[in-house]
Structure 1
Amino acid sequence: MEMEEPKGSTTQHFESPRRGSTSSDLLTEKTIHAHSAALAAALEDRPSPWSKGYLRLYAICLLIYLCSTMTGYDGSLMGSINAMQAYIDYYHLPPKGNSGTGIVFAIFQVGQMAAAPFVWLSDWKGRRVAIFLGCLGVCVGTVITATSPTLGGFIAGRFVLSFFSTIAATAAPLYLIEIAPPQYRGTMAGMYNTLYYFGSILATVTVYASNLHLTNKGNIAWRLALWLQMWMQKTENMPAKLTDPRLIGKDRVDEARIVVARLHTNGDTNHRLVHLQIDEMTESVRVEGLLTFRKMFDLRVLFKSRARRYRLALNVAFSWFGQFSGNNIASYYLPYLVANVGITSVNTQLLLNIIYAIGGWIPAMIGARLHDVVGRRKMLMGAALGMAVCLFITAGTAAGYVNTGSKASSSASIAFIYVFGSVFALAYTSMQPIYPGEVMSNDMRAKGMGVLQLVGGCAGFVNTFAAPIKYWFYVFFAFFDIFEFIIIYFFFVETKGRTLEELDEIFEAKNPRKASTMKTTLRQRVTREEGGNKRVSVDVV
């Protein structure tokens, strides 16, 4: 049935559920209506992605991306510096691969876990305050590490740096998730973590150049890279206001509507996409409320219903997967890994670090877009199998080199370490801080991201501090990646294209994974009647 509507309006038509289907297999009618309304609103007079409003949004996102650059810089900094003999001699570090070296890396995960209970700050005082304080603390930690005359002081500086970096790096993706329009959220928010590689490239290039030209200049050869860690902290001067339920919860609905319109519909406050998002935020605040000082440490919000426990389980699983797929072993200990297969030149090892970072950044950016095209689940499952294959081959070729000294085996082993890094980056990098935030409801999100940091820090600590750096350890991670594939297939919810509030209905279904992956066809028909009136029909079949 169709009927004429005033110009600019949209009519949705729904067909009955397929015969033989049960309610547990289908989305609720409310969810279907919400998804269809979101699609129709997004398609109706959708502003160009190069319009003034979107350009403003891109500029804000680029500024926030620097928080990820900060994290990536540190992630590769220690792996690169640890290959420099001057640094090892200055702090009298034990032989490479020893647990004494591991604690210098692992203290970052300790600081990450220690900061996890404090990430609620971004819910209480806002994302901007959390990012500002986090960046300021990183500056303090940088000064301590760059000037410390003792290993103990250096480790303490690393802890401070990690603690505050975690607070900033937790608030930043939340900010992006909440200001990005639903149809581009995977791309715009997903690009955040890809800038990790930009920071990694900056760190490895700096250390490589220092080792090449400053080895006769004393400790500046390795301290210079530590000092340069401060330059990215200018993310504290953010010009945008938050576009999330806190504005609505503070009776600032008109202000929220203006900000949404400015960023998503080129200033058109009457656009249906604006009305849809404001209505969903209002309903979310009505049901869940906002965080108060009294609720800050109340963790019951994470467990008090079956749907919330399911959400938390996905958060925990992906947090662990993001740090325990074999990626940390490759990134932190790459100089040692290549040494195990015959490459001992420090400059060559550092150069390979740079190539590894570039080889991750390009597929990570491609993957950020593909998550909005292919979907989260398919990307993650494909990458899990791909990583397992790469690690099995890496283990076999590394074993061949160790046992026979074959240069061909050595080259193949290094090549598949790089292929592994690219596969991981394609699907996992962009989603690491995004998917756990997507599956959390508004009142769970900051505390859920605290769980992300706690679990991720624990996983990173285990495989950074305790893992033996031997070729057979690749086999362990290969089997773990297969385990990841199984968990993702049976339990992970597809979040592609859905508003954050719409996912609330998905998790209330008997089987959220089935509800999110139900195959529906959304068919849009646009016709124009006499007088220029437009009629849009969206059928769910």
Structure 2
Amino acid sequence: MPSFLSRQTRYGVSYNKLYSICALIYLNSTMAGLDASLIGNLNTLPSFQSFFGTGTSKATTGMIFASMQVGGILGAFTLRLADSRGRLFCIQIGSIGVICGALIQAFSRSMWMFMVGRFTLGFFSTLACRSSSIYLIEISPAERRGTIAGLYNTLFFLGSILATLAVLISQSIYHGHAAWRVPVALQCVFPAIVASGVRYIPESPRWLVANSRSSEARDVMTSLHSNGVLTNKVSEEFARMEIDVKQRDGMPTGWSVLYSSKSRKRRLFILLCMSLFGQMSGNNIISYYLPAMLHDVGIKEMSTKLYLNGLYAIIGWTAAAVGARLHDYYGRRKMLYNCTSGLATCMGLLALSMGMYYRTGEFLYSTFSLLTIYTFGVIFATGYTSMQPVYPAEVMTNDMRARGMAVATMCGGSAGCLNTLLAPAAMARLGPMFFFLFCVWDFIEAVVINAYFVETKGRTLEELEEVFNSDDPVGLSIEKSSKERMF
């Protein structure tokens, strides 16, 4: 075997095995992107609109959109199973549940049956997807955690692209209700692959240590990080994991584990902020209601809207993948702060350009509005997409992580659901001023990020305990980050 394959490098045998495992788990993100984006594309089809009585921006549309988010919020309560039964158990059960939800939608005979399917899909999607992000965080090496775990959420865009393609192809082949039923049924494909393949991959080493299976955990660590050889680096990280578990003995259990000390309250605050910012920065509005917004700036052809929807996803995917790597190079804090400031600027420009288009109807302002929408998508994808499931999980301790991600899901899901339900009426009532409100809010987010978010780049999950126990967590985290850049 060539020597470069036997060394502990990103191209070695261990990392190839790690990448293969990640590729399987990434499909859950693709599933989530397909599920979330499909409804927006279906809502451009006359057959779908006539069957359910929806439009591009009506209250009925908001109810159908929100049903999946409500299911996702309630599904968060099941995440404690990730601690008791394991990460892989939740991934498998969640994937099977998503298949059931997709089939209910595909064979729906009424709007309420369709909403039940959306709810079921959202419920189990939370269990599968959140457990997937926890699993990836816990098996990734510290120096490339942002890239390896961060790429997971970028595959959401692949799902968005496939959703657009599925609707475009289906509506060109099928007529009547089959045009929307076939794409809905395709939601079964990715969870079926994951549910089948997850039986053949190892459990999270951190979960194994926490459940008194240290020997198995050590084998997993050496298999994935050092080509089967117990190196000093792996030994040190494994020792920290065991110490971390011993220190938790006698500590509060249950939900109180999230706020039982000052450092844990700070961790929880950061998690809540990141969860809110990931949903309340304006991204949900643009993602879900892009067809309606395109209509508002003068683009009315159905096929054009679908193509622009697909282009938005392709550009976003590219930006998100680049962003995942940049988070390991520049750090989480700097990326999130700069990108959030950019989002605020885009929202301000969008409010101005759409306002001018409403007044004048000039093509120039329509084009500028469209460019601003796409620029917003690129910035959000670069800064937030890869980190939405990663950063909240990073700032949690091992015993907080499953419950913390449940809280993150409930918080983010509630914010997203509120956005989805209120956006149609707010856009109709406020017009361009609606986007100016997001401009102000995004600047507030940037201030909070600068003041409270710690840098996690390059530290193992256990090493972050030192950061949060210090008197100045932000300062200490920046101090180490400024001394090292990883590429």
TM-score between both structures, scaled by the size of structure 1: 0.85
Match for residue 336 of structure 2 among 380, 404, 408: 380
CA distance in 1, matches of 2:484, 2:14: 28
Match for residue 188 of structure 1 among 127, 130, 148: 148
Say if 2:152 and 2:386, in contact at 8 Å, map to a contact too.
yes
Asked which structure has the greater CA Rg, the reply is 1
Say if 2:283 and 2:380, in contact at 8 Å, map to a contact too.
yes
Aligned AA (2:89): V
CA distance in 2, matches of 1:302, 1:249: 17
Say if 1:137 and 1:160, in contact at 8 Å, map to a contact too.
yes
- Match in the other structure for 1:226: 184
Asked if residue 491 in structure 1 is aligned to residue 457 in structure 2, the reply is no
Match for residue 167 of structure 1 among 109, 127, 149: 127
- Match in the other structure for 2:3: none
- Which structure has greater helix proportion? 2
CA distance in 2, matches of 1:429, 1:107: 23
CA distance in 1, matches of 2:243, 2:89: 26
Match for residue 62 of structure 2 among 98, 102, 106: 102
Say if 2:80 and 2:403, in contact at 8 Å, map to a contact too.
yes
Match for residue 155 of structure 1 among 110, 115, 126: 115
1:147: Cα distance to partner?
Answer: 0.5
Asked if residue 426 in structure 1 is aligned to residue 382 in structure 2, the reply is yes
Aligned AA (1:243): S
Aligned AA (1:431): M
1:210: Cα distance to partner?
Answer: 2.1
- Aligned counterparts, 1:467-478, within 5 A: 467=423, 468-469=426-427, 470-478=431-439
* CA 523–144 in structure 1, closer or farther in 2 if over 3 Å, else same: closer
Asked if residue 54 in structure 1 is aligned to residue 15 in structure 2, the reply is yes
Which sits farther off after the overlay, 467-476 or 185-194?
A: 467-476
* Matched-pair identity in %: 42
1:109: Cα distance to partner?
Answer: 1.4
- Match in the other structure for 1:328: 284
- Match in the other structure for 1:362: 318
Asked if residue 235 in structure 1 is aligned to residue 194 in structure 2, the reply is yes
Aligned AA (1:424): F
CA distance in 2, matches of 1:232, 1:80: 19
- CA RMSD in angstroms, aligned pairs only: 1.8
Q: Secondary structure at the match of 2:155?
A: helix
Say if 2:455 and 2:478, in contact at 8 Å, map to a contact too.
yes
CA distance in 2, matches of 1:521, 1:366: 21
1:511: Cα distance to partner?
Answer: 2.1
CA distance in 2, matches of 1:377, 1:249: 30
Say if 2:333 and 2:454, in contact at 8 Å, map to a contact too.
yes
Asked if residue 461 in structure 1 is aligned to residue 417 in structure 2, the reply is yes
Moved >3 Å (runs of 4+): 519-524
Match for residue 92 of structure 2 among 110, 121, 132: 132
Say if 2:99 and 2:188, in contact at 8 Å, map to a contact too.
yes
Match for residue 167 of structure 2 among 207, 223, 242: 207
Say if 2:168 and 2:306, in contact at 8 Å, map to a contact too.
yes
Structure 1, unmatched stretches of 5+, are 1-44, 525-541
CA distance in 1, matches of 2:394, 2:172: 44
Q: How many residues align?
A: 472
Note the alpha carbon deviations across 1:228-252, whole angstroms, 9 max, x for none: 0000011122222123233224443
- Match in the other structure for 1:246: 207
- Match in the other structure for 2:219: 258
CA distance in 2, matches of 1:290, 1:472: 53
1:346: Cα distance to partner?
Answer: 0.8
Structure 2, unmatched stretches of 5+, are 1-5
CA distance in 1, matches of 2:384, 2:115: 29
- Match in the other structure for 1:38: none
CA distance in 1, matches of 2:179, 2:261: 55
Which sits farther off after the overlay, 464-473 or 438-447?
A: 464-473
TM-score between both structures, scaled by the size of structure 2: 0.94
* CA 124–416 in structure 1, closer or farther in 2 if over 3 Å, else same: same
Note the alpha carbon deviations across 1:102-157, whole angstroms, 9 max, x for none: 11111111111111111111111001100111010001101111101101111111
- Match in the other structure for 2:362: 406
